[in-house]
Amino acid sequence: MMAIPEETPDQTRVEQAVRTLLAWMGEDPQRKALRDTPGRVARALAELASGYGEDPAALLSAGLAEAPERQLVVVRDITFHSLCEHHLLPFFGWAAIAYLPDGRLAGLSKLARVVDAHARRLQVQERLTEEVATTLERGLRPRGLAVALTAEHLCMSMRGAARPGHRTVTVATRGELASDPASRESALRLMAASRP
């Protein structure tokens, strides 16, 4: 997890930085349509980075239940959005999670909250996938686990290679869903069933 500097700029300093950025782009920050933009940008960034103030492990543990079930649990189409740490541009898509319980079940909404808590930080998709998997592995202690993220990255769609519509898929597996090829294939097929 990235450490936040001890002297975090207040909203006034963030708004001034946005005014500087607007002027650098060739805009007039005092233009009527832009006067409120610095405040809006500061509030939007605070929301998009709200994961720094959340503990994903605590979110998960609040929804754990002891249960004897041992059948595969799959939750898919968990939408998420994040900011690429390289360009501060969004990437967004959906997550799918599959796990083989070993006496513990997670509240389904808690799985989505874990994804959000990790995604609402500056990220790269590969690390985001691993962080979600690690949090779930430690909290659930399942026999097997798979996390798959599919996302479009605006840093590739809007600039550089300029290839809109592409999707990047990252997968992290643990336990039986890593070591048993047939179980892994079955879980990944279920995780991808509803998306193109």
Q: If we measure between CA atoms, which residue out of 180, 104, 92, 168 comes closest to residue 136? A: 104
Does 153 participate in catalysis according to the annotation?
yes
Does 166 participate in catalysis according to the annotation?
no
How far, in Å, CA of 47 to CA of 7, rounded? 19
Q: Name the catalytic one among 15, 84, 118, 176.
A: 84
Q: Name the catalytic one among 27, 54, 87, 130.
A: 87
How far, in Å, CA of 113 to CA of 92, rounded? 15
Q: Name the catalytic one among 16, 27, 130, 155.
A: 155
Cα torsion at 113, 82, 44, 158 (round to 10°)? -150
Does 84 participate in catalysis according to the annotation?
yes
DSSP summary character for residue 35: T
Does 155 participate in catalysis according to the annotation?
yes
Q: Name the catalytic one among 123, 125, 131, 176.
A: 125
Residue pair 90/81 in contact by the 8 Å Cβ criterion: yes
Instruction: Tell me the angle at which helices 108-119 and 125-140 cross, rounded to the nearest 10 degrees.
Output: 140
Q: Name the catalytic one among 11, 69, 81, 85.
A: 85
- Between the two ends of the chain, the Cα-to-Cα distance in Å is 32
**32: CB partners within 8 A, 6+ apart:** none
Does 152 participate in catalysis according to the annotation?
no
**Which residue has tokens 């595969």?**
72
Just list the catalytic residues.
84-87, 125, 153, 155
